[in-house]
Protein backbone atom coordinates (compact mmCIF):
# COMPACT_ATOMS: atom_id res chain seq x y z
CA UNK A 1 0.00 0.00 0.00
CA UNK A 2 2.87 2.36 0.83
CA UNK A 3 4.47 1.61 -2.53
CA UNK A 4 1.25 2.48 -4.41
CA UNK A 5 0.83 5.64 -2.37
CA UNK A 6 4.43 6.62 -3.13
CA UNK A 7 3.98 5.97 -6.87
CA UNK A 8 0.75 8.00 -6.99
CA UNK A 9 2.45 10.86 -5.12
CA UNK A 10 5.44 10.73 -7.47
CA UNK A 11 3.15 10.83 -10.51
CA UNK A 12 1.20 13.78 -9.11
CA UNK A 13 4.37 15.72 -8.34
CA UNK A 14 5.69 14.95 -11.84
CA UNK A 15 2.50 16.25 -13.49
CA UNK A 16 2.56 19.34 -11.30
CA UNK A 17 6.17 20.11 -12.19
CA UNK A 18 5.58 19.44 -15.89
CA UNK A 19 2.61 21.79 -16.00
CA UNK A 20 4.55 24.47 -14.11
CA UNK A 21 7.68 24.34 -16.28
CA UNK A 22 6.38 23.21 -19.65
CA UNK A 23 4.75 26.36 -21.04
CA UNK A 24 6.75 27.86 -23.86
CA UNK A 25 5.18 30.47 -26.12
CA UNK A 26 4.75 29.23 -29.67
CA UNK A 27 6.54 31.15 -32.39
CA UNK A 28 4.81 34.45 -32.86
CA UNK A 29 3.73 34.71 -29.23
CA UNK A 30 5.89 37.04 -27.22
CA UNK A 31 5.57 38.02 -23.58
CA UNK A 32 4.24 41.49 -22.79
CA UNK A 33 6.67 43.09 -20.36
CA UNK A 34 4.87 46.38 -19.70
CA UNK A 35 5.70 50.04 -19.94
CA UNK A 36 7.81 50.07 -16.78
CA UNK A 37 10.32 47.64 -18.28
CA UNK A 38 10.29 49.35 -21.68
CA UNK A 39 10.75 52.68 -19.94
CA UNK A 40 13.91 51.58 -18.17
CA UNK A 41 15.84 52.16 -21.40
CA UNK A 42 13.50 54.53 -23.23
CA UNK A 43 13.53 57.28 -20.61
CA UNK A 44 16.93 58.67 -21.49
CA UNK A 45 17.52 61.82 -23.49
CA UNK A 46 19.60 59.89 -26.05
CA UNK A 47 16.47 57.76 -26.64
CA UNK A 48 14.32 60.86 -27.12
CA UNK A 49 12.72 60.84 -23.64
CA UNK A 50 10.15 58.43 -25.02
CA UNK A 51 8.81 57.37 -21.62
CA UNK A 52 8.17 60.97 -20.61
CA UNK A 53 6.29 61.63 -23.85
CA UNK A 54 4.10 58.56 -23.26
CA UNK A 55 3.51 59.48 -19.60
CA UNK A 56 2.15 62.88 -20.66
CA UNK A 57 -0.13 61.38 -23.29
CA UNK A 58 -3.78 60.40 -23.33
CA UNK A 59 -2.57 56.85 -24.08
CA UNK A 60 -1.12 56.60 -20.57
CA UNK A 61 -4.48 57.63 -19.10
CA UNK A 62 -6.68 55.59 -21.44
CA UNK A 63 -7.54 52.82 -18.95
CA UNK A 64 -8.19 55.29 -16.15
CA UNK A 65 -10.82 57.07 -18.27
CA UNK A 66 -12.81 53.83 -18.27
CA UNK A 67 -13.04 53.97 -14.47
CA UNK A 68 -15.26 57.05 -14.49
CA UNK A 69 -19.04 57.42 -14.21
CA UNK A 70 -18.98 59.23 -17.55
CA UNK A 71 -17.39 56.20 -19.22
CA UNK A 72 -20.00 53.91 -17.66
CA UNK A 73 -22.76 56.14 -19.06
CA UNK A 74 -21.19 56.06 -22.52
CA UNK A 75 -20.95 52.26 -22.35
CA UNK A 76 -24.58 52.03 -21.20
CA UNK A 77 -25.77 54.32 -24.03
CA UNK A 78 -23.86 52.09 -26.46
CA UNK A 79 -25.92 49.14 -25.22
CA UNK A 80 -23.44 47.49 -22.86
CA UNK A 81 -24.57 46.09 -19.51
CA UNK A 82 -21.17 46.09 -17.83
CA UNK A 83 -19.07 48.94 -16.52
CA UNK A 84 -16.82 50.48 -19.16
CA UNK A 85 -13.72 49.07 -17.45
CA UNK A 86 -15.22 45.57 -17.83
CA UNK A 87 -16.49 45.97 -21.40
CA UNK A 88 -14.46 44.39 -24.19
CA UNK A 89 -15.62 46.98 -26.72
CA UNK A 90 -14.07 49.70 -24.52
CA UNK A 91 -11.00 47.79 -23.36
CA UNK A 92 -9.93 46.84 -26.88
CA UNK A 93 -8.76 50.43 -27.40
CA UNK A 94 -8.24 51.72 -23.87
CA UNK A 95 -6.16 48.69 -22.78
CA UNK A 96 -5.49 46.59 -25.89
CA UNK A 97 -3.56 43.88 -24.02
CA UNK A 98 -6.56 43.13 -21.79
CA UNK A 99 -7.36 39.95 -23.68
CA UNK A 100 -3.79 38.63 -23.98
CA UNK A 101 -3.33 35.17 -22.49
CA UNK A 102 -2.13 35.62 -18.90
CA UNK A 103 0.78 33.29 -19.66
CA UNK A 104 2.09 35.98 -21.99
CA UNK A 105 1.96 38.80 -19.41
CA UNK A 106 4.98 39.54 -17.26
CA UNK A 107 4.09 39.50 -13.57
CA UNK A 108 4.76 43.26 -13.43
CA UNK A 109 2.64 44.05 -16.49
CA UNK A 110 -0.14 46.41 -15.43
CA UNK A 111 -3.27 46.69 -17.54
CA UNK A 112 -4.00 50.01 -15.79
CA UNK A 113 -1.12 51.55 -17.77
CA UNK A 114 -3.56 51.83 -20.68
CA UNK A 115 -2.26 52.01 -24.23
CA UNK A 116 1.31 50.93 -23.68
CA UNK A 117 4.45 50.72 -25.80
CA UNK A 118 3.79 47.13 -26.82
CA UNK A 119 0.29 47.84 -28.08
CA UNK A 120 1.87 49.61 -31.04
CA UNK A 121 5.39 48.18 -31.10
CA UNK A 122 4.71 44.50 -30.35
CA UNK A 123 5.21 42.45 -27.19
CA UNK A 124 8.78 43.04 -26.00
CA UNK A 125 9.62 39.88 -24.12
CA UNK A 126 11.94 38.61 -26.84
CA UNK A 127 13.43 41.87 -28.07
CA UNK A 128 13.87 43.72 -24.76
CA UNK A 129 17.55 42.97 -24.29
CA UNK A 130 20.02 45.65 -25.30
CA UNK A 131 21.87 43.13 -27.47
CA UNK A 132 18.75 42.37 -29.53
CA UNK A 133 17.58 46.00 -29.67
CA UNK A 134 20.94 47.06 -31.14
CA UNK A 135 20.30 44.69 -34.07
CA UNK A 136 17.15 45.96 -35.80
CA UNK A 137 16.74 42.79 -37.87
CA UNK A 138 16.98 40.61 -34.74
CA UNK A 139 14.56 42.87 -32.87
CA UNK A 140 11.99 42.61 -35.66
CA UNK A 141 12.46 38.83 -35.83
CA UNK A 142 11.74 38.78 -32.09
CA UNK A 143 8.50 40.76 -32.23
CA UNK A 144 9.37 44.46 -32.62
CA UNK A 145 6.99 46.24 -34.98
CA UNK A 146 8.57 48.98 -37.04
CA UNK A 147 6.37 51.03 -39.33
CA UNK A 148 7.49 51.72 -42.89
CA UNK A 149 6.22 55.30 -42.91
CA UNK A 150 3.66 57.71 -41.48
CA UNK A 151 0.88 56.11 -43.55
CA UNK A 152 1.51 52.78 -41.83
CA UNK A 153 1.53 54.50 -38.43
CA UNK A 154 -1.74 56.27 -39.26
CA UNK A 155 -3.31 52.96 -40.25
CA UNK A 156 -2.33 51.50 -36.85
CA UNK A 157 -3.71 54.55 -35.02
CA UNK A 158 -7.01 54.26 -36.86
CA UNK A 159 -7.58 50.74 -35.52
CA UNK A 160 -8.90 52.63 -32.47
CA UNK A 161 -9.30 56.24 -33.58
CA UNK A 162 -12.26 55.58 -35.86
CA UNK A 163 -16.03 55.98 -36.17
CA UNK A 164 -16.62 52.77 -34.21
CA UNK A 165 -15.90 54.70 -31.00
CA UNK A 166 -19.00 56.19 -29.36
CA UNK A 167 -16.96 59.34 -28.57
CA UNK A 168 -15.33 59.65 -31.98
CA UNK A 169 -14.14 63.05 -33.10
CA UNK A 170 -12.53 63.57 -36.49
CA UNK A 171 -9.02 62.16 -36.34
CA UNK A 172 -6.44 64.45 -37.89
CA UNK A 173 -3.39 62.21 -37.88
CA UNK A 174 -0.74 64.93 -38.22
CA UNK A 175 -2.10 66.83 -35.20
CA UNK A 176 -2.52 63.76 -33.00
CA UNK A 177 0.77 62.17 -34.02
CA UNK A 178 2.64 65.36 -33.15
CA UNK A 179 1.49 64.84 -29.52
CA UNK A 180 2.75 61.25 -29.22
CA UNK A 181 5.64 61.11 -31.72
CA UNK A 182 8.71 59.76 -29.96
CA UNK A 183 11.45 59.03 -32.42
CA UNK A 184 14.97 58.27 -31.32
CA UNK A 185 17.10 61.33 -32.18
CA UNK A 186 19.61 60.83 -34.96
CA UNK A 187 23.17 60.98 -33.66
Q: How far apart are CA 121 and CA 35, in angstroms?
A: 11
User: Are 31 and 125 in contact, with CB atoms under 8 Å apart?
Assistant: yes
CA 45 to chain centre: 23
Q: Is the pLDDT of residue 5 over 60?
A: no
| pLDDT, tens only, 99-142 | 999 999 999 999 999 999 999 999 999 999 999 999 999 999 99
**Dihedrals phi, psi of 10, to nearest 5 degrees:** -65, -40
- The answer to whether 36 touches 54, Cβ cutoff 8 Å, is no
pLDDT band at 152 (very low <50, low <70, confident <90, very high): very high
Q: Give the model confidence (pLDDT) of 44-96 as tens digits.
A: 998 899 999 999 999 999 999 999 999 999 999 999 999 999 999 999 999 99
Task: Give the pTM.
Answer: 0.80
Could you tell me the residue ranges of all domains in the chain? 28-180
Position 9 scores a pLDDT of: 44
Amino acid sequence: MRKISFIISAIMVSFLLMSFYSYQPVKGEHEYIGVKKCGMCHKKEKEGNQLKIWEGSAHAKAYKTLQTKEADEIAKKAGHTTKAVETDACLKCHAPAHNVDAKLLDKKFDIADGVQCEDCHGAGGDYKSNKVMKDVKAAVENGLIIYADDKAIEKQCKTCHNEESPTYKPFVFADKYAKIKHNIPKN
